[in-house]
Amino acid sequence: YCSRKLSSKAERAPATMMNADMDAVEAENQVELEEKTRLINQVLELQHTLEDLSARVDAVKEENLKLKSENQVLGQYIENLMSASSVFQTTDTKSKRK
């Protein structure tokens, strides 16, 4: 009877250690899973931020092109006004001396 009692205790000890080891492995796996989830969420957030910034850059480029075009039109308009006005005509000093 004593030998049976000892052998059953000896058999339970490794099982208890295996359970503790398995619990430690499960806890480690849970920590890794949480870390992976956190990193995935962070990557997704950064992707959304990049998409937003890219859209903003595209909008600014488009606005810049529009403003450049408007500036060209205004510049041409001002040149036409200046050439039509006698105030901005170039003076010919040789003709005034004659």
Place of tokens 């000093």: 93
Residue 23 has what pLDDT? 83
| CA atoms of 69 and 73, how far apart (whole Å) | 6
pLDDT band at 20 (very low <50, low <70, confident <90, very high): confident
Residue 19 has what pLDDT? 78
Calculate mean pLDDT across residues 65-91: 89
Residue 78 has what pLDDT? 93
Place of tokens 């105030």: 87
Calculate mean pLDDT across residues 15-36: 84
CA separation, residue 90 to residues 22, 76, 78, 79 (Å): 95, 18, 16, 13
Kindly list the domain boundaries of the chain, sorted by start residue: 35-59
Calculate mean pLDDT across residues 74-88: 89
pTM over 0.75: no
